[in-house]
C-alpha cells in the first residue's frame, strides 16, 4: 500500500539497444486518479537498459497507470492503492509546494502556508558526503531552515580535481562532457549518490532548490557551463531533474546568478513546466547588477529572486521594486551578503536578522535567505587551497561556517510566523506609523521595528489582539489588547513597549 505524497518507483527495461539511452529515449507514464484526473510523469535512464519512473499520489484511493512506447520493454499498465499519509514530516504531511492564489506566496497542497527560510549550500551535491550532509541537515533543521539552494552539478568547465569528495579540491562529476560545454554523457553513479543526499534533506524537512547548471560565478569562477550548453541539452537535463527528483518536494531554479535573457533559462523553464505534473514553484535568481524582471509574463515563471551583492549593505528597495512588477510573481532576495565573506565580521550576527525582516516586509513575502562564506562552496577545511578569496572566510571550512551566529536569526522567521495566516501577505505603508509592515487584510498585521518601542496603529481594520516577539530568540515578550481610539486621535491606537531592541509586532482579530 502506497501513501499520499510519498513516491514509489516503476521499473522498466528496454528491449532495444541504444547508443546513448540518456539522449536517445524519452517516455512517460500516465497515472490516473480515482476521480479520473491524469498525471504524466517522465521516466529517467537508470543505467544499462533500465529506466525508472517515480510518482507520488496526491490523493488516496485506487489509481491506475499506463505506458506506451515503440520499445516493447517500455510499455505496461497496472493499478495500485493509496492511503492517506501517516508521515509526520511536514513536507509530506501537507503535500508538495504550489503558488498561492495571488501568485505571491508558496504554500502546501493542503493550503498550509510555507514561508521559505533557505540556506545556501550550492556545493553540497558534488562535495558533500552522506555523513557530512546528515550533520548539515540536522543543524539547519534545528535552526528552522526549510529549504536550501543547490547547484545540482559542479558548473565550472575549467575546474579540475580528484573525484574523491574527501580530498582537497575534489568533487563529483555529473556529466563527463560538461567541461566541453555539453550535457550528453551523464554519470549515473553521481546521481545515485545525490539520491542519498537528497533523501537526507527531505527527511529533515529541507526542500531542495534545484538549480540545473549555473549561469553566473559558479564554484570558482572558472567559466560556467550554464550559458554555454545547447538549449536542447539544458532542456533535457531539466526534464531529467523533474523525472528523478520531482516526485518529492522541490523548487526549481532554471536561472541563477546571471541575467534572465540567456536562452538556456527559457528552454529550462519551459521544460520544467511541461514535465512537472505537480507544478511546483519555478523561477529565476539573478546577479546583483541587473533588474530582476525577465520573463515576467511567462506562464512557467512563478517567482523572481534578486541578489544584492556581498558588501554588507541592506538594500530592501530592490525587493520593493520587484514587488511592483506585473503580472504578480513571488518575490524574495535570494542572495543577501554571505555572513563573514572575505573577512570575519562582515554581515555577521544580527545583521542577518535585520536583513531577513526588512526584505520580508519590503515585499519579499516568498521567504528569507541566508548564506555562509566557506559553506556555500563546501570548503572541506579552513586550509583547503584553490578557492577564490572574494567569497571565502579565510579562517573557516564548511563545518566552522555552519556555526555562524547569523543563521539562527534567519531560521527563526518562519518559526515566529508559524500558524498565522501569512499566505498572500503584502507590504503595508498606510496602516501604521512604522517603516516595515505587512498585512493580510481582515486577518493579520505584522510590523518589524529595529529599535522596538511604541507602535502607532492608524487603521481600525487592524485586529486589537497583539503579541510582541523578540526576533533574536523567538520568545513572546508581551501580549495583550490595544487600547481603544481616544477622542483627540480617533483613528489612532498604539502598543506601548520599551525601545532599544528589535521587535516583531503581530496583530489579529
Q: Give the Cα separation of 322 and 417 in Å (integer).
A: 23
Distance (Å, whole) CA 445 – CA 439:
4
For residues 372 and 431, state if they share a domain: no
Residues 198-221, mean pLDDT to the nearest whole number: 98
Residues 341 and 472 in one domain: no
- The whole-number pLDDT of residue 489 equals 62
Answer yes or no: are the C-beta atoms of 465 and 481 closer than 8 Å: yes
Q: Are 497 and 448 in contact (CB under 8 A)?
A: no
Residue from 315, 233, 188, 248 nearest 54 by CA: 248
- Burial of residue 507 (CB within 10 Å: 0-12, 13-18, 19+) is buried
Instruction: Please give the Cα distance from 505 to 466 (Å, whole number).
Output: 7
CA-wise closest residue to 159 among 175, 151, 170, 174:
170
DSSP assignment of 108-171? ETTS-EE-EEEEE-TTHHHH--HHHHHHHHHHHHHHT--EEEEESS--BTT----S-TTSTT--
Q: Residues 351, 473: one domain?
A: no
Segment 8-51, tens digit of pLDDT? 999 999 999 999 999 999 999 999 999 999 999 999 999 999 99
- What per-residue confidence (pLDDT) applies to 459? 85
Tell whether 253 and 318 lie within a shared domain: yes
Q: CATH number for the domain including 191? A: 3.20.20.80
Question: Of the candidates 60, 86, 112, which is a domain's last residue?
Answer: 86
CA distance 413 to 446: 12
pLDDT at position 428: 97
- Percentage of the chain beyond pLDDT 70 is 98
- Of the pLDDT bands very low, low, confident and very high (cuts 50, 70, 90), residue 490 is low
Regarding whether 188 and 261 lie in a shared domain, the answer is yes
**Total of domains in the chain:** 3
Whether 421 maps to a domain, the answer reads no
State which residues form the domain around 452.
Answer: 426-508
Q: Which residues touch 276 (CB under 8 Å, ≥6 apart)?
A: 242, 246, 252, 282
How is residue 423 annotated by DSSP?
T
Whole-number pLDDT of residue 492? 73
Residues 125 and 242 in one domain: yes
What distance in Å separates the CA atoms of residue 77 and residue 58, rounded to the nearest whole number? 19
State whether 286 and 318 are in the same domain.
yes
User: Would 499 be classed as within a structural domain?
Assistant: yes
pLDDT in tens, 431-457: 999 999 999 999 999 999 999 999 999
One domain, residues 133 and 249: yes
138 and 247 assigned to the same domain: yes
Residues 331 and 200 in one domain: yes
Q: What is the pLDDT of residues 268-313, one digit of tens each?
A: 999 999 999 999 999 999 999 999 999 999 999 999 999 999 999 9
3-class SS of residue 329: coil
Query: What's the pLDDT band for 218 if we cut at 50, 70, 90?
Result: very high
DSSP annotation string for 32-58: E-TTS-EEEEE-EE-STTEEEEEE--S
Same domain for 45 and 105: no
Q: Which of 52, 86, 120 finishes a domain?
A: 86
- Tracing cell 516526485 back to the chain, one arrives at 247
Amino acid at each position: 500500500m502506497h501513501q499520499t505524497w510519498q513516491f514509489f518507483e516503476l521499473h522498466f527495461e528496454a528491449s532495444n539497444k541504444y547508443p546513448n539511452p540518456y539522449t536517445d529515449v524519452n517516455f512517460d507514464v500516465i497515472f490516473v486518479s480515482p476521480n479520473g484526473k491524469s498525471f504524466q510523469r517522465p521516466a529517467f535512464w537508470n543505467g544499462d537498459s533500465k529506466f525508472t519512473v517515480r510518482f507520488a499520489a496526491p490523493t488516496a484511493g485506487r489509481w491506475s497507470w499506463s505506458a506506451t512506447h515503440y520499445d516493447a520493454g517500455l510499455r505496461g499498465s497496472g493499478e495500485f492503492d493509496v492511503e492517506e499519509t501517516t508521515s509526520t514530516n511536514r513536507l509530506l504531511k501537507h503535500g508538495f509546494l504550489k503558488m498561492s492564489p495571488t501568485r505571491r506566496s508558496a504554500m502546501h497542497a493542503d493550503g498550509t502556508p510555507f514561508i521559505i527560510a533557505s540556506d545556501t549550500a550550492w556545493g553540497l551535491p558534488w562535495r558533500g558526503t552522506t555523513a557530512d550532509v546528515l550533520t548539515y541537515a540536522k543543524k539547519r533543521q534545528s535552526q528552522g531552515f526549510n529549504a536550501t539552494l543547490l547547484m545540482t552539478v559542479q558548473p565550472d568547465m575549467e575546474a579540475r580535481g580528484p573525484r574523491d569528495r574527501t580530498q582537497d579540491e575534489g568533487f563529483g562529476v555529473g556529466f563527463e562532457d560538461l567541461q566541453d560545454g555539453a550535457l550528453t554523457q551523464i554519470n549515473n553513479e553521481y546521481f545515485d549518490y545525490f539520491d542519498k543526499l537528497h533523501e537526507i534533506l527531505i527527511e529533515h524537512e529541507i526542500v531542495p532548490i534545484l538549480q540545473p547548471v549555473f549561469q553566473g560565478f559558479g564554484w570558482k569562477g572558472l567559466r560556467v557551463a550554464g550559458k554555454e550548453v545547447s538549449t536542447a541539452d539544458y532542456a533535457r537535463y531539466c526534464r531529467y531533474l523533474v523525472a528523478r527528483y520531482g516526485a518529492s518536494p522541490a523548487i526549481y531554479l532554471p536561472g541563477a546568478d546571471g541575467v534572465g535573457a540567456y536562452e538556456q533559462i527559457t528552454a529550462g523553464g519551459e521544460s520544467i513546466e511541461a514535465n512537472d505534473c505537480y507544478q511546483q514553484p519555478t523561477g529565476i535568481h539573478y546577479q546583483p547588477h541587473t533588474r530582476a524582471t525577465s520573463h515576467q509574463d511567462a506562464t512557467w515563471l512563478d517567482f523572481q529572486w534578486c541578489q544584492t551583492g556581498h558588501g554588507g549593505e541592506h538594500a530592501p528597495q530592490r525587493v520593493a521594486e520587484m514587488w511592483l512588477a506585473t503580472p504578480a510573481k513571488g518575490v524574495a532576495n535570494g542572495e543577501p551578503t554571505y555572513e563573514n565573506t572575505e573577512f570575519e565580521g562582515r554581515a555577521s550576527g544580527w545583521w542577518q536578522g535585520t536583513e531577513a525582516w526588512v526584505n520580508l516586509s519590503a515585499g519579499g513575502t516568498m521567504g528569507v535567505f541566508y548564506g555562509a562564506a566557506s559553506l556555500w562552496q563546501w570548503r572541506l577545511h579552513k586550509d583547503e587551497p584553490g578557492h577564490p578569496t572574494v567569497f571565502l572566510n579565510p579562517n573557516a571550512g564548511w563545518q566552522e561556517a555552519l556555526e555562524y551566529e547569523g543563521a539562527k536569526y534567519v531560521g527563526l522567521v518562519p518559526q515566529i510566523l508559524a500558524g498565522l495566516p501569512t499566505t498572500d501577505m503584502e507590504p503595508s505603508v498606510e496602516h501604521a506609523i512604522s517603516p516595515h509592515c505587512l498585512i493580510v487584510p481582515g486577518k493579520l498585521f505584522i510590523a518589524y521595528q529595529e529599535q522596538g518601542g511604541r507602535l502607532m496603529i492608524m487603521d481600525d481594520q487592524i485586529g486589537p489582539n497583539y503579541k510582541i516577539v523578540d526576533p533574536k530568540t523567538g520568545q513572546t515578550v508581551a501580549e495583550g489588547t490595544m487600547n481603544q481610539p481616544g477622542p483627540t486621535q480617533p483613528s489612532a491606537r498604539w502598543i506601548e513597549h520599551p525601545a532599544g531592541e528589535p521587535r516583531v509586532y503581530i496583530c489579529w482579530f
